[in-house]
Amino acid sequence: MKYLGCAYYPEYWGVDRVETDAKLMKEAGINFARIGEFAWSRMEPQEGVFTLDWLNKSIEILNRYGIKVLMCTPSATPPAWLASAYPDTVIVKADGKRLEHGNRKHFCSTSDTYRRHCRRIIEVLCREMKKHENVIAWQIDNELGPEVGWCYCENCQSRFRAWLLEKYGSLETLNRAWGTGFWSMDYSDWRQVRLGSDPFHHYSSRNLDSKRFFSDMMIDYGMFQANIIRENHPGSIVTTNGMGPIYPHINYYQLFKDLDVACDDLYFDIGTMDADVAAMNVFRSIKPGKKFWITETGSGALDHNKPPHKKQFRAWAWSAWAHGSEAHFIFRWRTCLSGQEQELQGILEHSGLPRHRYQAVKECFNEFNDLAYELDRVSLPKAEVAIIQDYDVLWAYDSVRVGPAVNYLPLVYQIHKKLYARNILTDIIDPGQDFRKYKLIILPSMVMLDKEFADRLRNAVYAGATVFSIGQMGMRDKNNNYLPYPGPFELTDLFGIKIHGGMYLDSQVGVEEAIWTPEHRHGSVTVAVKGSVAGETLTGMASKWIADIEAIDCESLFTFQDEAYQYQPAVTEKRYGKGKAIYQGFLNGTVELEERIFDDILAQSNVQVKYQTPLHVEVVERDNFICVVNHLDRAVEVNIPSPVKAVLGTYEDGKCILEPYGVGLLRCI
Ligand SMILES: [Zn+2]
C-alpha cells in the first residue's frame, strides 16, 4: 500500500501537540495526513481575516517526519459568521424552511454567494499550501451529497428550470417528454415548474429529472472547486471522498471522471463483507486502470459499538490492497473529546495515549511498508465479469412507487454476492463504459436503456460475450414513461423475445386481503417455475415480479407453471454471433434454483470458479500474487492448486492455512 494515512485535526488539538503526534505517526508507519476539511472557522475566524500559522507550522512538523499531506477544502462546515451574514448560502428544505448553523453540509451548492466565499478561502489555502513540498494532494469538500437534504431554495428552483430549458429546449418538448397529459400536469409557463421530491405524488419524470439535476449540481460544485485548485496549485492530485458501495445520490462515474483518483470512505462495519467488497469493486471500476484510495476507514468501531477483533483491521486492509487500493486512511488520529462524532474511536485514545488500536494499526502498516517495494508495482486485479450499474435506472426506481418492490440496489448486491461467494472478481461499471473485455456482462433490472448502449451490447455479444439480464429490461424510455410497444427497447433481436409487461406478486385480492378496508392485509404470491439446466430438470418458485414474455426467436429454458403466464417463458436463451443472450424474467427466485441457473451461466460464459472457499473467505489474484483473506472468526484452509511460496501466512501441502481473520499472501513460482 503506497499511502498509509489518517485524518488529523491540529486545529482542534493545537499546534503544540503536533510534534508528539508526528513522532507517533511515523513509528506507526503513517506517511500521509488528511487535514483541514472541517477547519474553516479556525482558518478564517472573520470574513476575510485568515489565521493559518497553526496550519503552516503543523505541516512543517509533519514534513520533518516524512509525512505527506492531503489538504482539504473546508467547505463542508461553513463557519457560523457566514451562515448568519449570508442566509442565502444555507439550504432551504422542500417545506420552505431554511436550516440553521450547527450541523454540517447545510450549504446551498448553487449559491453564488457561497461559491464566492469558497473561492476566496481555497485561493488563500492554495497560495499557502504550494509552499509546502509535502502537500501533494487535495480533497474537495467532504463527502459531497445531501447529508441534511437537498436544497429547494428559489435559486435552485431557477437553476432547475435553466437545466430543463437546456435539456428540452421548450416547454412544449418538456410537456411531451414528461407525458404531462394526465392529472392536468401540462405547464404553460416556466415559473410553474419546480423540483420534485415525492415519488408517490409527483410525476415520475419530474422526480427523475430532479435527481439528475441534483447530481449534476453537486458535480458542478465539485468541479468549480477542482478548477480553482488546479489553477492555483498546479501539479497536485485533486480528488474528493465518496461513500458507499453504490452511493445513490450522485453519479460517481461522472463525478470522478475529471478528478485524479476515485476515493471511498469505507467503514467495513457499515456493510456486510460482500457489500464492502462491492464498494471496492465499484471504486476500482470508476476509473478503469487506476488504483483507488480509501480515504476513511475505522481502526475502531464507527460509533460506540464493539470494535473489530484485533486482527480484523489487518484483514480489511489486505482485502483493500487485493482489490486495488493504494491508500488506506484511518478516520481519525485521536478520539475527540467533544463534538458530533465524540463516540467515534480514533487510533489514539481520547487520553492521547497509544493503546490497542494504535498497536493494531502499527503492526499492519509496518507490514505493508516492509513489502512496499514489491507490492506497489503490482498491477490491478483483472475482472472477467461486469455488472452494469446505471444511475438513471437507480433514480428511475427511486422516482416511482413500484421502486421498492423491485429493490434495484439490493438486486445489484445480490448478484454481486453470488460472484463474491465464488471468488470471481467483478467490475461494477456504468453503461457508458467499455465492456468488450468481459466474458460475462450482467444487467440487473435495466428498465431503461438507450440505443447506443443496446448497439454496443449487441456487438459485444456478437463478438463472444454472454449477457445475462434479470428482472425488468428495456420497458421504459429515458423519462421513466412506459414504452407504447413491447420491450426490450432495441434488444428484441438480441434476446429473441418481446416483453409485454409483468406482474408484481404482492397480493390484496384474496378474500381476507385488502388494500384499505378494514385494514391493509396482503399476501405474498409465488409462481412455480420449471425447466432444465445442463439436461437436469429443475423446479422452483418465483416471487416479487414476473415478466410477460413472448418468445420470438429463442430457446425457452424455464417456463412459469401457474397463474396468468402459465407455460410462458421464464428464462430464455439465444445464441447471437459467437455469444449468448440469457434473460431471467423473474425476481427473487428460490435460492437453489437461482444458484443452479447462475452456475450454468458462468459455465457457458467460460468463467471459471478457481477457488472454492467458505463464504467470506476471499481469494484474489494480482499479477503473480494470490491474496487469501479470512474474514471469519474461525480458522480455515483453502486449496491453492498452483505452486506458490508464502510471503505472508502459512502454505503447506497445497493449502493456505489461515487463523481467524488471517491473511495469506502467496507468490506464484
Ligand atoms: Zn439552493
Surface-to-core class of residue 234, CB atoms within 10 Å of its CB (0-12 exposed, 13-18 middle, 19+ buried): exposed
Distance 96 CA to ligand 1 centre (A): 11
With CA atoms as reference, report the closest residue to 360 among 369, 371, 345, 347. Answer: 347
Distance CA 397, CA 234 (A): 41
Say if residue 598 is in the same domain as residue 631. Answer: no
- Give 272's contacts (C-beta < 8 A, 6+ positions apart): none
% of the chain residues with pLDDT over 70: 100
pLDDT at residue number 197: 81
Cα–Cα–Cα angle for 488, 175, 172, rounded to 5 degrees? 120
Cα–Cα–Cα angle for 215, 390, 298, rounded to 5 degrees? 70
Q: Are 313 and 267 in contact (CB under 8 A)?
A: no
pLDDT at residue number 304: 83
Say if residue 197 is in the same domain as residue 313. Answer: yes
Q: Residue 612 falls within a domain, yes or no?
A: no
Q: Residue 210 falls within a domain, yes or no?
A: yes
- Give start and end residues of each alpha helix (H) in 246-286: 252-255, 273-286
Q: Are 42 and 15 in contact (CB under 8 A)?
A: no
pLDDT at residue number 201: 75
Say if residue 294 is in the same domain as residue 434. Answer: no
Say if residue 621 is in the same domain as residue 591. Answer: no
Total Cβ atoms within 10 A of residue 377: 8
Is 296 annotated in the active site?
yes
Tell me which residues have their CB within 5 A of the ion that is ligand 1.
Answer: 108, 151, 153, 156
Per the residue annotation, which of 11, 44, 128, 296 is the catalytic one? Answer: 296
Distance 104 CA to ligand 1 centre (A): 15
CATH number for the domain that contains residue 660: 2.60.40
Say if residue 273 is in the same domain as residue 420. Answer: no
Distance CA 449, CA 473 (A): 8
- End of a domain among 575, 604, 633? 604
Say if residue 629 is in the same domain as residue 595. Answer: no
Distance CA 132, CA 123 (A): 15
pLDDT at residue number 302: 84
- What is the number of structural domains in the chain? 3
Q: Is 55 left (phi over 0), alpha (psi -120 to 50) or beta?
A: alpha
Distance 47 CA to ligand 1 centre (A): 22
Domain residues for the domain of 132 are 3-375
CATH number for the domain that contains residue 496: 3.40.50.880
Say if residue 293 is in the same domain as residue 435. Answer: no
Say if residue 215 is in the same domain as residue 320. Answer: yes
Distance 173 CA to ligand 1 centre (A): 26
Q: Quick: pLDDT tens for 419-438.
A: 999 999 999 999 999 999 99
Q: Residue 610 falls within a domain, yes or no?
A: no
pLDDT at residue number 135: 98
- End of a domain among 330, 345, 375? 375
- End of a domain among 375, 405, 440? 375
Q: Are 390 and 430 in contact (CB under 8 A)?
A: yes
Distance 114 CA to ligand 1 centre (A): 10
Distance 90 CA to ligand 1 centre (A): 7
Q: Residue 611 falls within a domain, yes or no?
A: no
Is 172 annotated in the active site?
no
Beta strand 655-658 with 650-652 is antiparallel
Say if residue 469 is in the same domain as residue 427. Answer: yes
- Give 334's contacts (C-beta < 8 A, 6+ positions apart): 9, 13, 21, 346, 347, 348, 349, 350, 352
Say if residue 310 is in the same domain as residue 362. Answer: yes
- Give 268's contacts (C-beta < 8 A, 6+ positions apart): 276, 297, 298, 308, 312, 316
Distance 251 CA to ligand 1 centre (A): 19
Say if residue 283 is in the same domain as residue 181. Answer: yes
Per the residue annotation, which of 128, 143, 326, 367 is the catalytic one? Answer: 143
- pTM attached to this predicted model: 0.97
Distance 110 CA to ligand 1 centre (A): 6
> What stretches in the chain show pLDDT beneath 50?
none
Distance 346 CA to ligand 1 centre (A): 34
